[in-house]
Structure 1
Amino acid sequence: MPDTFQSPDPGAALIARVAERVSAARKKKALPRRVLSERSGVSPRYLAQLESGEGNISILLLSRVAAALDLKVEALLADEIPMDHDAQRFAAIYRSAPPEVQHEVSALLAPRDPALMRAGRICLIGLRGAGKSTLGRLAGEALKIPFVELNEDIENAVDMPLSEVMAFYGEDGYRRLEAEALDRISSIHDRVILAVAGGLVAQQNTYDRLRERFHTIWVRTSPPEHMQRVRAQGDVRPMQGNPAAMAQLKELLATRSPLYDLAEAQVNTSNRTISSSLNDLLSTIAKYKFIDPVA
């Protein structure tokens, strides 16, 4: 029997298009989903479903979301987003240009100075238990700049705890939210200290973007201190019923160390007090001039 061709479902294509445009418009305005919910009267969970392409939203509710984003509802529904006259003209010229010219134009429009791209943004990377959160918060207070936990930003954006985020979105969905949060924070803050989960470095695209937009510091310690500090936080899972936990931790550290080693600087907190480690972190920030003095 010959294969039969099935045309794409226009309804599914429309839902996907709306999902992409709502998500893009919200990110452009740096609006947490919670704030968009308050402005539109649409629940955060419904907005999460809408942006993931799983929500079949009514026109009435969609018009509320569009209004909250300062858009006309047709901008979310149309096959193509209308461009102004100049944009159309430049787009036509670009499309008709030979590949080498297109490449030159793209290179000219791309950000050129990595230092300017990173501004005064610092990100602390490393395995859990190294001291990223503690030192990041104290350094933020000392430097009078915001401190942000990436996972807390994700929780605030979707208005649910991280455990529910993982259950609702799954691993792939969480990684997408992680990348979105990174974009959101870098668009809002020119001066900030950020702490991220230890596994982010394994996501190549997200890690590349992180290192483009943030000065990175690997906060590190020894495997025994990693384990001890995690347990001191009240989490006994790394050791409970798992005698091979230390070997697994060492293997994980060995696997990720080459990725962490891509950071611009390191701070070793092994056998150091919080005060000493904080001084090391502040000295490192000053040494590499990661944050310029405010004029």
Structure 2
Amino acid sequence: MDTAPVVNPSPAAAGAEEPRHPFLVALGERVRTLRSRRGMTRKAVAVAADVSERHLANLEYGTGNASILVLLQVADALQCPLAELLGDVSTSSPEWLLIREMLSGQDEAALRRARVAIAGALGGADSTEAGRRTRIALIGLRGAGKSTLGQRLADDLGFAFIELSREIEKFAGCSIEEIHALYGTPAYRRYERRALEEAIQIYPEVVIATPGGLVSDAANFNLLLSHCTTVWLQADPSDHMGRVAAQGDMRPMAASREAMEDLKRILAGRSAFYSKAELHFNTSDYSLPQAHEALAAQVKALIGR
């Protein structure tokens, strides 16, 4: 595997050599967004994909991928989306195609109504509104206060409190870091789902502090949204960094000399998913006692207690 150091061409230099195709630029943006959402460095993705870091950098910058343009031209000639040519799941049956066509072009509000309606149609009894009200899931990046405020909120409500990361480690019999190192991300997501399913099944009244990356997995996030009232705990980037450093935990930013920029990219990649929460609460606006009091009041108002 090519391990040559990455040299990122400047936009001006790249533009002088060869104009970048808009499709490749957009593709590169999507790759960067997905990488940030999962909290992975470029090096980590390159190793996992068994490609050189230089090749991945070119992909993210929108250069050196003429072969995919051929597929795009073929799709245009066939008058079908590129996803259909590649065999995306939403092209696998007439029903999928009809549903996709109905949702195409809808705004975020309409798509959310459709998602909630589908979840209600497919979910079991536990996904009722009453069941959701007594399960509070705290989402957000590490350092937002999910563990500290979650325990206090649970005590205030008289609910159980669990940290999903600890439940995942119990299922796996090893630490989160060891799960990723030994078995990879797919195995971690399976443990994450098992832990979440058990929490939902066992606890009718609970506050759940979730891992920051849970929103990166659509299946697990759908499960959470269907069964829990969600609260996005936010904080200023400097507060996130300071709190994580105080805990002695810098993953996945430990290998980066630009940890703050990494954190901001991760937040940017996940914010659209975090924002699906019914309540947004910025912990940087308060001292810890004030944050507890204000959060408890807002959650009680939200769930009608």
Normalised TM-score (structure 1):
0.58
Distance 1:264 1:233, change over 3 A: same
The one-character-per-residue Cα deviations of 1:104-151 (angstroms, maximum 9, x if unpaired) are: xx9598549731341400000000001101100111122221110001
CA distance in 1, matches of 2:266, 2:124: 36
Stretch moving more, 126-135 or 238-247: 238-247
Match of 2:184 in 1: 170
Question: Structure 2 residue aligned with 1:224, among 238, 241, 246?
Answer: 238
Q: Does 1:212 pair with 2:243?
A: no
User: Is contact 1:117–1:212 with CA below 8 Å preserved after alignment?
Assistant: no
Q: Does 1:269 pair with 2:301?
A: no
User: Is contact 2:139–2:232 with CA below 8 Å preserved after alignment?
Assistant: yes
Q: Pairwise CA RMSD of aligned residues?
A: 2.5
CA distance in 2, matches of 1:225, 1:234: 14
Could you list the runs of 4 or more consecutive aligned residues of structure 1 that deviate by over 3 angstroms after TM superposition?
106-114, 236-243
User: Is contact 1:186–1:213 with CA below 8 Å preserved after alignment?
Assistant: yes
Distance 1:116 1:225, change over 3 A: same
1:281 Cα shift? 1.3
CA distance in 1, matches of 2:206, 2:175: 23
CA distance in 2, matches of 1:170, 1:113: 30
Aligned-residue sequence identity (percent) comes to 38
Distance 1:233 1:256, change over 3 A: same
1:166 Cα shift? 2.4
CA distance in 1, matches of 2:205, 2:248: 32
Please show how residues 106-125 of structure 1 align to structure 2 within 5 Å: 107=121, 110-111=124-125, 114-125=128-139
Match of 1:251 in 2: 265
Distance 1:117 1:270, change over 3 A: same
CA distance in 2, matches of 1:112, 1:218: 22
Match of 2:18 in 1: none
User: Is contact 2:137–2:228 with CA below 8 Å preserved after alignment?
Assistant: yes
The one-character-per-residue Cα deviations of 1:58-97 (angstroms, maximum 9, x if unpaired) are: xxxxxxxxxxxxxxxxxxxxxxxxxxxxxxxxxxxxxxxx
Please show how residues 1-295 of structure 1 align to structure 2 within 5 Å: 107=121, 110-111=124-125, 114-236=128-250, 242-289=256-303, 292=305
CA distance in 1, matches of 2:182, 2:174: 10
The one-character-per-residue Cα deviations of 1:241-264 (angstroms, maximum 9, x if unpaired) are: 744221221122112111100000
Q: Secondary structure at the match of 2:130?
A: helix
Q: Which runs of 5+ in 2 are unaligned?
A: 1-94, 96-119
- Considering fraction of residues, name the structure with more helix: 2
CA distance in 1, matches of 2:233, 2:175: 25
1:271 Cα shift? 4.2
**Which protein has the larger Cα radius of gyration, Structure 1 or Structure 2?**
1
